[in-house]
Amino acid sequence: MLEHDARKPAVEAHQAHLRLLQTTDMHVNLLPYDYYVDAPTPRFGLARTASLVRRHRAAARNSLLFDNGDFLQGTPLSDMIAEQHARGEAGLHPAIAAMNALGYDAGTLGNHEFNYGVDFLEHALRGAAFPVVSANITDRRHGDDRHLVAPWVILERDLSLAGGARAPIRIGVIGFAPPQIEVWDAIALRGQVATGDILAAARDQVPQLRAAGADIVIALSHSGIGDETAQDRMENASVPLAGIDGIDVILAGHMHKCFPGPDFDATDLVDPALGTLHGKPAVMAGFHGSHLGVIDLVVEPDGSGWRIARHASSLEAICEPETMRPAGRRARVLSDAGVIAAVGDAHDQTLDHVRREVGRTTGPLQSYFARVANDGTVQLVADAQRLAAQTLIDGTAWADLPLLSAAAPFKAGGQGGPENYVDIPAGPLAIRHAADLYLFPNLLALIEVNGAQLADWLERSASAFHRVVPQRARQALIDMAFPAYCFDVIDGVTYDFDLSAPARFTIGGRVAAPAATRVRNLCHEGRPVAPDDRFVVVTNSYRIGGGCNFPIARDTARIMTTTVPVRDTLIDHFRENPALIPYRRDTWGICPVPGASAEFRTGPGALHHVNGVRDRRLTVLGEDDEGWTRMVLDLDP
């Protein structure tokens, strides 16, 4: 742990120490409670982060607290509030109440703020006691393309100088969010909101913010630390954003990673040890309140205003960082009473809601092998979607086409760590299990595709894997930079992945090798799929909107959108099958590669289910120092 007080730079009488504190990607994790497993957790929750906030405030003469967005969506609590809003019953949003209690100085919007539509967002923001800024989001409802919220704000603060005197400072705060919002949430937004390029908005607005008198400018960038070179409509634009004149500090987010720290590689422009982008101080405070971002500035008079003389960036974790293991993870701070009080009854209401029993499963449901083999949880989502879709297309022109169902595993390791898997024992199924199986408030959506588009869809999924060469043991199998939620499995056809071939698509979805094919043996009912065969695929609003850059989303002529949350189709499925029998079809496989084996890592809970994975010869290697269990798949024919 970094001791901020020990590192506090000496300041001269005319200088001031100004501490900037950041939370990001809270996703309505307000209390340290995991609603999916219905148990307390030391790993996240704003109530814990809040205690760090109070500690850091007490140790600094001057401090400001910011949130970087994705604060209104992400737990069963947030869905419950959204349902209350839809019924006209919503009061002050508990996330906003908690943030008010903690006294944020400003915040910005993340992409998930738009998941429940603009009315919901505006209702929530009306309760905020702090300004929320975003410079690249346009409100299109009134015909004059105004900003949805203020692009920036100037916070007028009285600095306490090292020598004891006080002096005014004007702190400019400007916000940015991924321009993909208008695509990702196209269905919920109905064209009411447009999202522009982050860098273009910065070039337009930062000079105005400076001209309005800001002494220093802080960018709240709900955007990751990605490519260094500017591209049009970048999702993760924080590096080139830091290069824009007039911006002094970058608070980044969206990626659910930690900066400074080993999540990022050092480059000419990114210093993950010092925590700088373009030499400017930056932080990204993990997610769900896992960390508090801290930037210590020493500011000094600069003729008419102030300039930054020195800076230091760091993160502080809410729990002991050395152990990702459930048993070993201990909280470092207690929950803050103010946040607990602000959440009020919403926590208890959420518990009542998520514990409501809606069915039973006769066997365990787990996702430990979802990225290497057919999986029962993905199958369950695919089945629930297909059954709901069938009733929607009965009697339409689509009723005669084969109906396929595309689903991806959401909890399958990744950033969430070795505990981030579905692991539901045989027994009762409650609402929380549906939420666990389907984390996002995506809506059911259908699309008609031909055989060629179907194959291309699967080629995109195939970029989840590294290339495997013959005659080499223990090659890395899963490209961990490829998010699990982008790994669409299409139920209703069968296919294999030939991983000895290069991937057609990059992780981000750009075509890297147009002629490359990994998909083999694509068949429907045992017959090869021809390029002009026609299918209807049921999927979700995020995918249809362009999430994960699947090529099908670019051809939007044949789409049916709905207002049915996919999660509700799961709950219906539970109710209609009171003794659910988990199973998985042989939908996809990995082609043999002579003399090759491939290594992957999964959660330690997988050890209870190894016997259930019969597809390939599987060897357990053991646990690594981050708590993952390493396994090897023998790919030799």
How does DSSP classify residue 280? Answer: E
- Minimum CB distance to Mn ion, residue 74 (Å): 7
The whole-angstrom separation of Cα 396 and Cα 146 is 41
Which of residues 70 and 185 has its CB atom nearest to Mg ion in the complex?
70
Q: Which of residues 436-495 bind Mn ion (CB under 5 A)?
A: none
- Minimum CB distance to Mg ion, residue 223 (Å): 8
- Minimum CB distance to Mn ion, residue 282 (Å): 17
Q: Which of residues 24-43 bind Mn ion (CB under 5 A)?
A: 25
**By the 8 A CB rule, do 129 and 100 touch?**
yes
Contacted entry of Mn ion, Mg ion, none for residue 383, CB cut-off 5 to 8 Å set by kind: none
Reading the block at residue 21, the tokens are 């504190």
Reading the block at residue 232, the tokens are 């049009």
- Looking at 240-383, which runs of residues are DSSP E strands? 249-252, 258-259, 270-271, 276-277, 280-285, 291-302, 305-317, 357-361, 365-366
Which of residues 138 and 221 has its CB atom nearest to Mg ion in the complex?
221
Site string for Mn ion, 511-550 (x = CB under 5 A): ----------------------------------------
For residues 270-288, one letter each, b for 16 or more C-beta atoms within 10 angstroms of the residue's C-beta and e for the rest, the string is bbbeebbbbebbbbbbbbb
Which of residues 29 and 549 has its CB atom nearest to Mn ion in the complex?
29
- Minimum CB distance to Mn ion, residue 26 (Å): 9
The binding site for Mg ion (CB under 5 A) comprises: 70, 110-111, 254
The whole-angstrom separation of Cα 186 and Cα 189 is 5
**By the 8 A CB rule, do 138 and 193 touch?**
yes
Please name the amino acid found at residue 166: R
The whole-angstrom separation of Cα 45 and Cα 47 is 5
Residue 159: its H or E element: strand 152-160
Which of residues 11 and 199 has its CB atom nearest to Mg ion in the complex?
199
Say which residues have a Cβ less than 8 Å from residue 26's Cβ, sequence separation at least 6.
46, 67, 70, 71, 74, 95, 287, 288, 289
Which of residues 110 and 179 has its CB atom nearest to Mg ion in the complex?
110
Please classify residue 568 by burial: count the beta carbons closer than 10 Å to its beta carbon, then call 0-12 exposed, 13-18 middle and 19+ buried.
Answer: middle
Which of residues 93 and 254 has its CB atom nearest to Mg ion in the complex?
254
Which of residues 111 and 361 has its CB atom nearest to Mn ion in the complex?
111
Which of residues 29 and 453 has its CB atom nearest to Mn ion in the complex?
29
Contacted entry of Mn ion, Mg ion, none for residue 432, CB cut-off 5 to 8 Å set by kind: none
Say which residues have a Cβ less than 8 Å from residue 575's Cβ, sequence separation at least 6.
358, 359
Residue 387: its H or E element: helix 376-393
235 binds Mn ion (CB under 5 A): no
DSSP 3-state of 85: helix
- Binding window for Mn ion (CB under 5 A); candidates: 64-72, 353-361, 499-507, 627-635: 64-72
User: Closest Cα partner for 493 from 462, 528, 447, 449?
Assistant: 528
- Minimum CB distance to Mg ion, residue 538 (Å): 25
User: Closest Cα partner for 566 from 536, 542, 535, 537?
Assistant: 542
Helix residue spans in 554-615 (DSSP H): 566-576
The site that binds Mn ion (CB under 5 A) totals a number of residues, namely: 2
- Minimum CB distance to Mg ion, residue 17 (Å): 31
Contacted entry of Mn ion, Mg ion, none for residue 105, CB cut-off 5 to 8 Å set by kind: none
Which of residues 254 and 573 has its CB atom nearest to Mn ion in the complex?
254
Contacted entry of Mg ion, Mn ion, none for residue 603, CB cut-off 5 to 8 Å set by kind: none
- Binding window for Mn ion (CB under 5 A); candidates: 68-76, 273-281, 376-384, 420-428: 68-76
Contacted entry of Mn ion, Mg ion, none for residue 629, CB cut-off 5 to 8 Å set by kind: none
Which of residues 235 and 436 has its CB atom nearest to Mn ion in the complex?
235
Handedness of CA 78, 80, 83, 84 (dihedral sign): negative
- Minimum CB distance to Mn ion, residue 163 (Å): 42
User: Closest Cα partner for 254 from 398, 371, 109, 61?
Assistant: 109
215 binds Mn ion (CB under 5 A): no
70 binds Mn ion (CB under 5 A): yes
Dihedral, 193, 197, 198, 203 alpha carbons, nearest 10: -120
Contacted entry of Mn ion, Mg ion, none for residue 19, CB cut-off 5 to 8 Å set by kind: none
Residue 491: its H or E element: strand 489-491
Reading the block at residue 271, the tokens are 């210093």
Contacted entry of Mg ion, Mn ion, none for residue 419, CB cut-off 5 to 8 Å set by kind: none
- Minimum CB distance to Mg ion, residue 111 (Å): 4
Which of residues 111 and 385 has its CB atom nearest to Mn ion in the complex?
111
- Minimum CB distance to Mg ion, residue 305 (Å): 33
The whole-angstrom separation of Cα 590 and Cα 592 is 6
Nearest-CB residue to Mg ion?
Answer: 254
**By the 8 A CB rule, do 477 and 513 touch?**
no
- Binding window for Mn ion (CB under 5 A); candidates: 63-71, 163-171, 365-373, 460-468: 63-71
Which of residues 177 and 247 has its CB atom nearest to Mg ion in the complex?
177
- Binding window for Mn ion (CB under 5 A); candidates: 14-22, 66-74, 425-433, 623-631: 66-74
- Minimum CB distance to Mg ion, residue 542 (Å): 12
Contacted entry of Mn ion, Mg ion, none for residue 197, CB cut-off 5 to 8 Å set by kind: none
Site string for Mn ion, 7-26 (x = CB under 5 A): ------------------x-
Contacted entry of Mg ion, Mn ion, none for residue 111, CB cut-off 5 to 8 Å set by kind: Mg ion
- Minimum CB distance to Mg ion, residue 179 (Å): 12
Which of residues 62 and 290 has its CB atom nearest to Mn ion in the complex?
290
The whole-angstrom separation of Cα 53 and Cα 72 is 20
Which residues contact Mn ion (rule: CB under 5 A)? 25, 70
